[in-house]
Amino acid sequence: MTESTGRKARKMISWRGDVRDARELRLAGLALAGPPLVWLATLLALPCAALALVALAARGPYGQIVWSFSAANFKRLLGYGLFGWSPDFLLILLRSLEVALVTTVVCVLLAYPLTFHIACRPRKARVWWLTLIIVPFWTNVVVRTYAWLLLLSPQLPPAKLAAWAGFVPPGGALYPSELAVYLGMVSTFLPFMALPLYASVERLDWDLLEAARDLYAGRWTVFRQAILPQTLPGLSVGLVMTFVPAMAMFVVSDILGGAKQMLVGNLIQLQFGQARDWPFGAMLSMALMIMTLASLALCRRRPKNL
């Protein structure tokens, strides 16, 4: 020990009621945090970054990765194929964006009345309502989507009603369709929106709403000036928790949407599954990742200029 102190003075610091050698303390911290950090780095952070490299490679004849660095996959994503330009992949990206946006907006429109209704219940009833929202939050997405498949099948009242009204041919099911996808998406993500929003609505200062009304604010103004600023923390968490997974969803669109309603999630799954075109799948993943990060950044900036 005397050698080391001779080489370099030990830096002692006061730390939580003890005097510790700073370097020793950090080594102990590294011993604890090191293994999990290495785990996350090798299995998640590095492969995530490696996707960017794979996206520049090409697919070999047997589905293996051929390391030829080119922008071919990017061009293909933009629609330049063997047979001239066709925007199929861009349209799928756009539709994913649209489905995620519409789902998020519908969830917001449902979640505000829902959370206000819950917040106005007596204490005991509130616990029950919350439990009713938390249970679907934890039920498996495959089970829930399967349930929609059953509910929308031809012999049950919803499809019969739609057939009677002429929306679907008699004896036809309500799936695969856009409506089915939206029903599945909204019912999957509504708890993700409602739970964080409720955390804000619960702490709402109702006096501000009354004050706004006393000053003859219309309904929209009350919402815009008194409710929205107060619920913004919960709303922005809800927006992220809904929009990000909605963009990447592939179970609901796969089961309820069929081939016509393909989203970028399905396309990625297809490339890594049957098509065995990992480089193109990696390029699609990068596109999804960039769209996700961009929307996250947008959501973070929003509160300032509200």
Partner 1 sequence: MDRKRPMVALTAFFSLLLLYLPAAAVAVFSVNSARIGFAWKGFTLKWYARLLHNEYIQEAAVNSLLVAAVSTAVATVLGTALALGLDRVPWPRKAHRVFDVVINLPVVVPDIIMAVSLTLAFTLLRQLSGVFALGMSTLIIGHITFQISFVTLVVRSRLASLNKETDEAARDLFASNFYLFRRVTLPLIMPGVLAGAMLAFTLSLDDFIISFFTHGPESVTLPIYIYSSLKRGLSPEIYALSTVMLLFTVLMVLIAERFTRRL
Q: Which is nearer to partner 1, 76 or 256 (CB)?
A: 256
Nearer to partner 1, 235 or 255 (CB): 255
| Residue 85 binding partner 1, by CB under 8 A | no
Q: How many residues bind partner 1 (CB under 8 A)?
A: 89
25 binds partner 1 (CB under 8 A): yes
The C-alpha atoms of residue 73 and residue 54 are separated, in whole angstroms, by: 10
Contact status: 235 vs partner 1 (CB under 8 A): no
* Interface with partner 1, residue 37, by CB under 8 A: yes
Q: How many helices (H) and strands (E) does the chain have?
A: 15, 6
Q: How far is CA 138 from CA 191, 234, 249, in A?
A: 9, 19, 16
Cα separation of the two ends of the chain: 60
According to CB under 8 A, which one of 12, 50, 94, 294 is a site residue for partner 1?
50
Shortest Cβ 46–partner 1 spacing (Å): 7
For residue 81, give the H/E element and its range: strand 80-81
198 belongs to the binding site for partner 1 (CB under 8 A): no
Task: Please state, in angstroms and rounded to a whole number, the distance separating the CA atoms of residues 13 and 21.
Answer: 6
Residue 192: closest CA among 238, 243, 234: 238
For the stretch 249-271, what's the b/e string if a residue is b when 16 or more beta carbons lie within 10 angstroms of its beta carbon?
bbbbbbbbbeeebbbbbbbbbbb
Within residues 95-114, the interface with partner 1 by CB under 8 A covers: 110-111, 113-114
Which 111-150 positions form the footprint of partner 1 (CB under 8 A)? 111, 113-114, 116-118, 120, 131-136, 138-144, 146-150
Q: Is 16 in the site for partner 1 (CB under 8 A)?
A: yes
Nearer to partner 1, 47 or 303 (CB): 47
Which amino acid appears at position 115 of this protein? T
45 binds partner 1 (CB under 8 A): yes
Q: Which residue number, 6 or 213, has a Cβ lying nearer to partner 1?
A: 213
Beta bridge partners of 12: 21
Minimum Å gap between C-beta 295 and partner 1 is: 11
Q: Please select the residue that binds partner 1; options are 190, 195, 212, 226, rule is CB under 8 A.
A: 190
| CA–CA dist 246, 55 (Å, integer) | 23
Residue numbers 155-174 binding partner 1 by CB under 8 A: 155-156
The answer to the question of residue 278 lying near partner 1 (CB under 8 A) is yes
Judged by CB under 8 A, does residue 22 bind partner 1? yes
| 204 three-state secondary structure | coil
Phi/psi of residue 169, nearest 5 degrees? -60, 150
Question: How many other β-carbons are positioned within 10 Å of the β-carbon of residue 92?
Answer: 20
If binding is defined by CB under 8 A, does position 12 make contact with partner 1?
no
